[in-house]
C-alpha cells in the first residue's frame, strides 16, 4: 500500500531515458486500456496488471484509466450506489445494508459513535461489509470512514487511544507532533478496517469560544493551520488511512452548529481568500486526496445557500481556483444546515450538481424508497447529471485503486483477534501522553507555580476523572462536582452549593470547560479563596482571569491531559506549550 501521495522530484538525464524505456516495456505487456469490449469474467478492480514501480504519476494514470474502464461496464444502480456513503444504526452490520452492498455495491460506509463502542464488534461489522462488497460482481471495496480527529471528536472509542487533540498540537507548534498524531490515530483505525478519516480539521479558531470548533482547530493562524494540517494528513496516509480535510470552505468564523441551523458567515471575499481558504489551498497543493464540504453560507461570496450545495464554492473555488482534482464528499446531508427547509432528494441533487463526488447520509435510505427511486430516475433522465455522476465515480474508483488495492482484499478485512491484541496501541499511548505534557500552556503572562495553598484544597469540575486525579495530587482535598451543561450559565443551585463547599478551604482548583465553569472560579475569587484554573477545551473562557494564581490550558478532558495539568500545578512538570491563539491576550 502506498504511504505517500505527494509531489515527486523531477527526473532528469540518464535516469529519465532509462525510465522511458521501462515504461514502454511495461505498457507493452499490459492489456490495452482502450479495448472496446470488456471481458465479463475479468476482475476489473483487482486486475494485477499495473505499473508498480516508483513514479506515483504512473500509478495514478493507470488507476484513472482503469476506473474509466469499470465505469463503462457499470449499470445505473452500481453507478448511483458508488456515490453514496451510508450510516447505519446500532453495533451490528444490518442485513438490509449488507444486501444493498452485495446487490449493487456501495461507495462507502460511515462509522458513527453509536456503532463503535466495542472494538471487536466493530471489526466484525466492518469485515461483513467488505465481504459483502467482494461478493458483488465488480468486487469493489468500500471506503470505511469515521471522524477520528483526536481530542474530543473521537467517534471510534472502545479500545482506541485518547489523544490531546489539534489545539494541543498547535500549542507545541510541531509538525512532527501533527504527523505522528495522524499516523497513530490512523494506525489504530486501519487495525479496525477503517480506511478513511474525516480529518484533519482545517477550520480556524477564529471564534475560539465556539463549542462547535474551538479546540478542534489547530490555531487561529491560517499558515500554522495549513502546516500542521498537511503534516497530520501525511501521517494518516503513512498509516494507510485516507485523510479528508474539512469543513470546506471553513467553519471557524461562527459559533452556530450546522447540525441544527445553516450558519451564515458575513465576511468579504478578500478576507475569505486570505483566511478561510488559505489552509485548503496549501493542502491541495501538497497533494491532499479528499475534502469534505461543509454546510455553511457565505452570503457575500456565494449567496445564502450552503457552500456544500453551490457550484460557486465546490466547482468554482475548490475545483477551478484551487485546482483540486481529488474526492469531494459532503458532510451529512441530513443536517439542518444542508436541508435548510428542503427535502432530502432535492438536497442530494443539489449536492451532485454543485460538484460533490460522494453524498454522506447518516441514515441509509430504503433500498426501494423514494430517495433511491428519485435519484435513479434523475440519473436516467438528466444527461448532464449522469455525466457528473460518471465523473465522480471515476474519481472514487481511482482513489480506491490508489489506496486500497496494494495489500489485496485480505488487508481490508479486519481480524477481531488482531484487534484484541493490537488495541490500544502502546506506542500511540506513550506518544499521546508525552504530547499532552508538552502541550500544557500557561494562559496569560505568568503563573504562581506550584499551586500550594496553605490549607485544604477544593477540586471542582464537571468530570469525575478530574476530581479523582486532583485528589491524588492534593491528598487532603475535597471534591465538588457540577454540571457540564448548560454551557453558558451555571445552575444557581449548584453555585450556591459550591459557595457552601468553599467553607474552610484555602484554595480551589476549578476545571473550566465553558463559560458556566468559569462562573465557579469567579465566585471563589470573590469569596477570597486562592484559585487555580485548568482550562480543558477552548482556553478563551479563562482568558481574562489574571487574578487567578495559575491558569493553565490542557485542551481536552482526556485523562492523559488532566494528569499533565496536575503535574504542572503540583510542580512536577514545567509548562512548555504556547496557546495558539494570537488575538485574545492568552499568551
Residues forming the active site? 259, 331
Distance CA 257, CA 195 (A): 27
* Residue 332 φ/ψ, nearest 5 degrees: -55, 125
The gap from C-alpha 145 to its chain's centroid, in whole angstroms, comes to: 10
Helix (H, G, I), strand (E, B) or coil at 282: helix
Burial status of residue 43 (CB atoms within 10 A of its CB: 0-12, 13-18, 19 or more):
exposed
Residue from 153, 169, 156, 279 nearest 212 by CA = 153
Which residues in 259-297 are b (16+ Cβ under 10 Å) and which e? eeebbebebeeeebbebbbbbbbbbbebbbbbbbbbbbb
Burial status of residue 192 (CB atoms within 10 A of its CB: 0-12, 13-18, 19 or more):
buried
Distance CA 500, CA 482 (A): 13
Distance CA 307, CA 298 (A): 7
Distance CA 521, CA 541 (A): 11
Distance CA 584, CA 539 (A): 10
Q: Tell me the three cell numbers of residue 211.
A: 463549542
Distance CA 468, CA 83 (A): 48
The gap from C-alpha 268 to its chain's centroid, in whole angstroms, comes to: 27
Distance CA 204, CA 29 (A): 50
Cβ atoms of 383 and 76 within 8 Å: the answer is no
* Residue 243 φ/ψ, nearest 5 degrees: -80, 150
Distance CA 184, CA 486 (A): 34
Q: Tell me the three cell numbers of residue 330.
A: 459532503
> Which residue in this structure is represented by grid cell 480551589?
508
β 327-330/359-361 pair status: unpaired
Distance CA 525, CA 508 (A): 9
Question: How many CA atoms are closer than 13 Å to the CA of 139, on its beta-carbon side?
Answer: 15
* Residue 330 φ/ψ, nearest 5 degrees: -75, 155
Helix (H, G, I), strand (E, B) or coil at 44: coil
Helix ranges, 454-571 (H) = 464-473, 492-501, 515-526, 559-569
Distance CA 216, CA 203 (A): 8
Kindly tell me the sign of the dihedral angle through the C-alpha atoms of 62, 68, 74, 78. Answer: positive
Helix (H, G, I), strand (E, B) or coil at 535: strand
Distance CA 499, CA 211 (A): 27
Cβ atoms of 385 and 353 within 8 Å: the answer is yes
> Which residue in this structure is represented by grid cell 465553558?
514
Amino acid at each position: 500500500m502506498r504511504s505517500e501521495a505527494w509531489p515527486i522530484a523531477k527526473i532528469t538525464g540518464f535516469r529519465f531515458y532509462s525510465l522511458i524505456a521501462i515504461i514502454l516495456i511495461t505498457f507493452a505487456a499490459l492489456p490495452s486500456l482502450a479495448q472496446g469490449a470488456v471481458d465479463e469474467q475479468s476482475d476489473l478492480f483487482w486486475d494485477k496488471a499495473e505499473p508498480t514501480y516508483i513514479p506515483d504519476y504512473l500509478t495514478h494514470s493507470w488507476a484513472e484509466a482503469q476506473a474509466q474502464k469499470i465505469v463503462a461496464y457499470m449499470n445505473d444502480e452500481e453507478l448511483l450506489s458508488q456515490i453514496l456513503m451510508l450510516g447505519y444504526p446500532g453495533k451490528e452490520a444490518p442485513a438490509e445494508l449488507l444486501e444493498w452492498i452485495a446487490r449493487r455495491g456501495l461507495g462507502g460506509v460511515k462509522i458513527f459513535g453509536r456503532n463503535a463502542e466495542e472494538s471487536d464488534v466493530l471489526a466484525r461489522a466492518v469485515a461483513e461489509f467488505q465481504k459483502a462488497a467482494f461478493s458483488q460482481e465488480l468486487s469493489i471495496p468500500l471506503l470505511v470512514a469515521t471522524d477520528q480527529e483526536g481530542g474530543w471528536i473521537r467517534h471510534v472509542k472502545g479500545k482506541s487511544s485518547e489523544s490531546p487533540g489539534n489545539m494541543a498540537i498547535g500549542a507545541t507548534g510541531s509538525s512532527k507532533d501533527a504527523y505522528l498524531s495522524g499516523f497513530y490515530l490512523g494506525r489504530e483505525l486501519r487495525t479496525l478496517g477503517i480506511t478513511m478519516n474525516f480529518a484533519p480539521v482545517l477550520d480556524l479558531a477564529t471564534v475560539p469560544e465556539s463549542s462547535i470548533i474551538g479546540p478542534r482547530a489547530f490555531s487561529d493562524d491560517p499558515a500554522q493551520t495549513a502546516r500542521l494540517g498537511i503534516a497530520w494528513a501525511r501521517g494518516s496516509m503513512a498509516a494507510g488511512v485516507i485523510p479528508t480535510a474539512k469543513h470546506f470552505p471553513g467553519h471557524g468564523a461562527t459559533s452556530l452548529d450546522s447540525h441544527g441551523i445553516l450558519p451564515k458567515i458575513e465576511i468579504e471575499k478578500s478576507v475569505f481568500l486570505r483566511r478561510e481558504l488559505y489552509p485548503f489551498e496549501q493542502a491541495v497543493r501538497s497533494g491532499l486526496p479528499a475534502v469534505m464540504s461543509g454546510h455553511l453560507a457565505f452570503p457575500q461570496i456565494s449567496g445564502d445557500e450552503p457552500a456544500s450545495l453551490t457550484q460557486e464554492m465546490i466547482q468554482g473555488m475548490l475545483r477551478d481556483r484551487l485546482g483540486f482534482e481529488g474526492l469531494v464528499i459532503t458532510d451529512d446531508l441530513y443536517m439542518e444546515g444542508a436541508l435548510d427547509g428542503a427535502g432530502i432528494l432535492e438536497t442530494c441533487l443539489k449536492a451532485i450538481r454543485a460538484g460533490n463526488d460522494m453524498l454522506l447520509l447518516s441514515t441509509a435510505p430504503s433500498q426501494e424508497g423514494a430517495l433511491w427511486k428519485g435519484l435513479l430516475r434523475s440519473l436516467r433522465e438528466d444527461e448532464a447529471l449522469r455525466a457528473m455522476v460518471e465523473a465522480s465515480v471515476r474519481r472514487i474508483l481511482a482513489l480506491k485503486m490508489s489506496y486500497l488495492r496494494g495489500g489485496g482484499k485480505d488487508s481490508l478485512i479486519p481480524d477481531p483477534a488482531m484487534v484484541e491484541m493490537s488495541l490500544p496501541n502502546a506506542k500511540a499511548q506513550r506518544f499521546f501522553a508525552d504530547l499532552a505534557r508538552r502541550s500544557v500552556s500557561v494562559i496569560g503572562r505568568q503563573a504562581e507555580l506550584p499551586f500550594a495553598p496553605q490549607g485544604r484544597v477544593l477540586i471542582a469540575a464537571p468530570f469525575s476523572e478530574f476530581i479523582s486525579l486532583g485528589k491524588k495530587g492534593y491528598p487532603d482535598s475535597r471534591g465538588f462536582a457540577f454540571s457540564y451543561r448548560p454551557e453558558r450559565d451555571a445552575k444557581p443551585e449548584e453555585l450556591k452549593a459550591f459557595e457552601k463547599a468553599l467553607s474552610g478551604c484555602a484554595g480551589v482548583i476549578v476545571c473550566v470547560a465553558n463559560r458556566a465553569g468559569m462562573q465557579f472560579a469567579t465566585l471563589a475569587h470573590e469569596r477570597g479563596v486562592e484559585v487555580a484554573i485548568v482550562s480543558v477545551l477552548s482556553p478563551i473562557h479563562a482568558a481574562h482571569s489574571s487574578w487567578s494564581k495559575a491558569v493553565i490550558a490542557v485542551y481536552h478532558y482526556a485523562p492523559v491531559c488532566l494528569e499533565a495539568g496536575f503535574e504542572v500545578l503540583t510542580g512536577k512538570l514545567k509548562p512548555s506549550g504556547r496557546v495558539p491563539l494570537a488575538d485574545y491576550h492568552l499568551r
